[in-house]
Amino acid sequence: SDHKVSQSVYLECRARGINHFDTAHTYTKGLAETWLGAFLRDERDEIFVASKVGYVGGADPKNLSVQFDESRSRLRQDVVDLLYLHRFDPHTPIEKTLAWFAEQKDEGRIRHIGLSNFAAWQIAKAHFIGQTIGAKISAVQPMYSLIKRQAEVEILPACTDLGMQCFSYSPLGAGLLTGKYVDQKGEGRLTTNARYAKRYGIEEMHKCAAALAKIAKE
């Protein structure tokens, strides 16, 4: 990560009217939140800030509290607009986790509750439990792009039916859809991260990316 490059990207986004910025406690070991907090400090009222907790260490309230306090400190914010549970934790009762989120909302630390990396049945379960304890789920964040469309089968219809907003992650397929990996010349996560290389190492995905790059040039 490069601070100057990141700041230039932020400023370009703002110049083009983008005001929703998504980060997480675990991203780049905290640098993403720290830098975002510095970038937006003079225009906080104009920015919608989303972050995530619970990817590491589970969804127990104690762990979530520690991570959320760290996130707010890095972001230099008392309030986060949207806080996601970063992934489903099968070892912690969802009722216990959602009660913690409800408490954060009641005390004014968050404005909206979200779920990231949840299957459709997990979303539905959290939705109905949340309704009974004051933890309304406002948003869901699945992986979704032209080359990763599984969310269309159940997750997107579930969001529509349950009245939730959907904010996808990896909409450019971890960079594959930018065209920079056409002819295998690009550098980035798909060449340096084994997990991402495997996820996007499918021939049809690369054909799609090449076709999209051709259309973009035209």
Whose CA is closest to 144, among 136, 152, 133? Answer: 152
DSSP 96-149: HHHHHHHHHHHTTSEEEEEEES--HHHHHHHHHHHHHHT--EEEEE-B-BTTB-
| Whole-structure pTM value | 0.94
Domain at 3-171: CATH code? 3.20.20.100
- Beta carbons of 51 and 33 less than 8 angstroms apart: yes
- Give pairs for 213-216: CB < 8 Å, separation 24+: 213/179, 213/182, 216/179
Structure tokens at 107: 């005390």
Which residues, including other chains, have CB under 8 Å from residue 164's CB and lie 6 or more apart? Answer: 123, 127, 137, 138, 139, 140, 158
Which positions ≥6 away from 43 have C-beta within 8 Å?
Answer: 14
Catalytic residues, by residue number, are 27
Percent composition of the chain: helix, strand, coil (DSSP 3-state, to 5): 55, 15, 30
Average of per-residue pLDDT across 35-63: 97
142-193 pLDDT, tens digit per residue, is 999 999 999 999 999 999 999 999 999 999 999 999 998 887 777 888 888 8
Selection from 140, 134, 145, 143 nearest residue 165 by Cα: 140
**How confident is the model at residue 16, as a pLDDT?**
98
Q: How far apart are CA 170 and CA 173, in angstroms?
A: 5
Q: How far is CA 212 from CA 24, 55, 151, in A?
A: 30, 33, 21
Please say if the pLDDT value at position 10 is more than 90: yes
Please, what is the average pLDDT of the chain? 96
How far is it, in rounded angstroms, from Cα 201 to Cα 105? 41
pLDDT at 139 over 70: yes
pLDDT in tens, 83-120: 999 999 999 999 999 999 999 999 999 999 999 999 99
Percent of the chain with pLDDT over 70: 100
Q: pLDDT at residue 1 above 70? A: no
Each domain of the chain, given as residue ranges in start order, spans 3-171, 173-218
